[in-house]
Amino acid sequence: MVRLFLSFPLAAFALLGATACSSGPTILTHDNGEVALRVESGVDEVEVENMKVRKRDGRATAQFHLVNEGDELRRVFVSLEWFDSDGFLLDDSMEVDPRERTFTLRGENARTLTFFSPEGGSPSKLRCVIEHVDL
């Protein structure tokens, strides 16, 4: 009987704590069986749409649209990491595709972003994080 009494307040506290916290970034995934794309975005009024991935000749390409649904200009910072099928981070591909970029999105406008995996690896996953940058 005491056990039930103690577990109920703990469960209620956990539920209250979960509702009081922010929901965190929006996480979207797309997987074509060869390459998986995971986009994490915490930017208000910026949506990720039309996610695509493909693999050709040992290199992967990922593409998606960033849509600014608001009226105002927004700057976003995008960082990316390519991983192999074992979960190891692939070598940097700075000459071909920088791992970090800043983009400006005009109000009520979309921008297509395309990323290419580094050469020499066997990419199977791309993780993109999108964050707001002050103007």
CATH code of the domain containing 85: 2.60.40.3230
| Full residue range of the structural domain in which residue 33 is found | 24-133
- Read off the pTM: 0.77
Whether residue 46 is contained in a domain is answered as: yes
95 three-state secondary structure: coil
Give Cα 19 distance to the centre of its chain.
23
Count how many domains the chain has. 1
The pLDDT assigned to 98 comes to 73
Q: Is the pLDDT of residue 14 over 60?
A: no
Q: Ramachandran region of residue 30, left (φ > 0), alpha (ψ -120 to 50) or beta?
A: beta
- What mean pLDDT do residues 48-60 have? 93
Whether residue 95 is contained in a domain is answered as: yes
Confidence of residue 5 (pLDDT cuts 50, 70, 90): very low
Q: How many other CB atoms sit within 10 Å of the CB of residue 81? A: 14
Listed residue (51, 68, 76) closest to 126, CA to CA: 51
Whether residue 75 is contained in a domain is answered as: yes
Whether residue 97 is contained in a domain is answered as: yes
Token code pair at residue 84? 């192999």
Whether residue 66 is contained in a domain is answered as: yes
Whether residue 3 is contained in a domain is answered as: no
Q: How far is CA 16 from CA 5, 6, 7, in A?
A: 17, 16, 14
Contact (Cβ atoms closer than 8 angstroms) between residue 59 and residue 82: no
Token code pair at residue 72? 């105002």
